[in-house]
Structure 1
Amino acid sequence: MFEKLRSKIPIDILNKEIDLENFISKARIEIDKNGYFIAKKLISNEWYHSCRKEAIEYFNKYSCKKNDLPTALRGNVSAGMADLLGYEKNTAWHLFRYCGFRWNKPNIELIKVLETSHSLSRIRNVIYGNDLEYGDFIEENNFFTYTSLSLYPLGGGFLNKHIDFKPSWNIKPMIHFKVELTHKGKDYNNGGLYLTDKSNNSICLSDYVDPTDIIFFEGSQPHEIKPTGSGKLGRIAFFEIPASVIPSSRKCIYSGDGISFPKKVLIKIINLL
């Protein structure tokens, strides 16, 4: 399993000193006990800084156009939809969010971010006990994963406290990972990722994360991004979201010849039911 896992991850992503078998064993124990685990120095320093550079340049380029952006995506994913950069400010969240889907050609502006997201999702699968490539593509149950890169802007970027479940509402909790590309106390002064652990303690995980560290946690533990304050950049982080496509988006008419327009409409209506 571990040799196969390494073969599915670009050689330069992980810290070469990491013992994958020992790391995954420790991660399982800590997540089961506390609801989270911080993998110190999991990815290489050079790779981390390449991801950071990509993300900062991307948001510097597009965040100034927030009034022209669509609403940020949160759920309701249709199979085959285009990648999306959106912006939203409401009572539940305030952020810029880029969503990248593997069925599309990779965004050349975020190549390292996307490769890292896909690789960590496979590591997450091994920790979780799923098949290595589970969610790489749409599964029979409509499950899949996609990359979410977010900027929580200075002066109040946030995400309300919530819990997540697998789309199938499986009793077994899902595992998330977070790659923080900007850091509290350096790039922004307040807020960060807060999680309620299994002892009911509220912990700011961002306080304990350094460059190249990766956070793993159970999505069923309450978590939130508290409002950013002042600083230089705001909070930038990414992860691979476990999700499911809208079932009706996978249904269509594959042959149009000889089918009347009213029948096509009827088929569309049936597929939406």
Structure 2
Amino acid sequence: MSTPDDAGAAADVSIDNFNATKLREALITDGFAVAKAIVPEPIVDAMRDTWLRAYADNIKQAPVIWGPFLGEANRILFHRSDSCCMYRAYDFLWNRPIDVTTRSIGLKLHRLRNCVAESQSLDGELIREDRYGIYITTSYYPPNYGWLAEHRDHADGRRHWHFMLLMTMKKKSYEDGGLFLINRSGTKTDIDSLVRPGDVIFFDGTLPHGVEPVSGGAGLGRLQMFSIPTFMETPQKNDRLLEDITFKRFFRAKLRPIKRKLIGFKRSSGGIY
């Protein structure tokens, strides 16, 4: 089991108000909890400015990535479908971080999440034999059209508990909408209205939750950061990777073993080829 000290807490993450036992009890009873004043507000502001600039660029539209493959490049994409409208960054831990501060804060908060969930400190960061691991993401719900349909996260026997850091605040950056959760009593809870800058949300992703359409306020939209647990795919079984392979490369690769069988292995001065 991890402890708060394992979170690598430094000046950019405060554990003064972090009580893993009380947070865990709240998640077991209600399905969510809010840890107050964990990340200093200036750091939250700097991260917000970084990501709002990033999402202001011309971003490629593509389907949501549910099964990243080992070795996949980092991506920043726009997703629009019958279940969501949002921008999302995919920061995979085997790559250099898209933003160093976001990666650092995200991993520290993930270790605090592990402490609450009674998991090993580095669980998710170190990919297991079943290819279970995490990546760090920011998600941006643009004003007037950002949303996410109500859903439950699929999970195995592990506690599918999330942390979430808001970088824009309800009643300031946006007036209406935001994260909601149906708690264990069946009550719909407006989570974003409970949060102030630097607070960290913890919630059970297997409970129904979603993001209602974001609008009003200063018109900045809703920006969040969290870690996503998933089972990584192997490259040879990933459809997205296969889509990028040209027909020429595909046929050449398929013909190579046939050619070897037909002509046999030949020995040359350079060895066997």
Q: Corresponding residue for 1:270?
A: none
Q: How many aligned positions are there?
A: 244
- Report the counterpart of residue 241 of structure 1 in structure 2: 228
Structure 1 unmatched ranges of 5 or more: 252-259, 266-273
Instruction: Determine which of 88, 94, 100 is the counterpart of 1:111.
Output: 100
* Counterpart AA for 2:232: V
Which of 26, 37, 40 aligns to 1:41? It is 37
Contact 2:143 2:214 in 1 (8 A): yes
Deviation at 1:127, TM superposition (A): 1.4
Choose which of 186, 211, 214 in structure 2 pairs with 1:200. 186
Residues 212-268 of structure 1 deviation map (CA, whole Å, 9 limit, x = unaligned): 1110001111000001123421001010001111145599xxxxxxxx822799xxx
Give the letter for the 2:8 counterpart: I
Partner amino acid, structure 1, of 2:131: N
Provide the rounded CA distance (Å) in 2 between the counterparts of 1:138 and 1:176: 18
Q: 2:115 pairs with 109, 112, 126, which one? A: 126
1:234-273 to structure 2, matched below 5 A, reads 234-247=221-234, 249=236, 261-262=256-257
Could you tell me whether the CA contact under 8 Å between 1:70 and 1:85 is conserved in 2?
A: no
Residue 75 of structure 2 corresponds to residue 81 of structure 1: no
Question: Could you say which residue in structure 2 is the equivalent of 1:226?
Answer: 212
Matched-pair contact (CA < 8 Å) for 1:12–1:47: no
Q: Is there any run of 5+ residues in structure 2 with no aligned partner, and where?
A: 239-254, 261-273
Answer yes or no: is the 8 Å Cα contact 1:54–1:112 preserved in 2.
no
Which residue in the other structure is 2:140 paired with?
151
Q: How many Å apart are 1:114 and its aligned residue?
A: 1.4
Give the share of equivalent positions with the same residue, in percent: 24
Query: Which one of 21, 26, 31 corresponds to residue 25 of structure 1?
Result: 21
Cα separation, partners in 2 of 1:116 and 1:263, compared to 1, 3 Å: farther
Contact 2:6 2:111 (C-alpha < 8 Å) held by counterparts:
no
Report what 2:127 is aligned to.
138
| Match of residue 6 from structure 1 | 5
- 1:112-146: per-residue Cα shift (whole Å, max 9, x none)? 11111111111111211211101113211110000
Q: 2:114 and 2:236 mapped to 1: Cα distance?
A: 26
The answer to whether the 8 Å contact 1:14/1:44 transfers is: yes
> Aligned equivalents of 1:249 and 1:241: distance in 2?
22
Deviation at 1:49, TM superposition (A): 2.4
Write the distance in 1 (CA, Å) between the matches of 2:115 and 2:84: 31
Secondary structure of the corresponding residue to residue 191 of structure 1: strand
* Structure 2 Cα separation of the partners of residues 212 and 8 of structure 1: 16
Deviations 1:79-98 (A, max 9, x none): 00000111122211001111
More helix as a share of residues: 1
RMSD over equivalenced CA pairs, Å: 2.4
Output the TM-score relative to the length of structure 2: 0.82
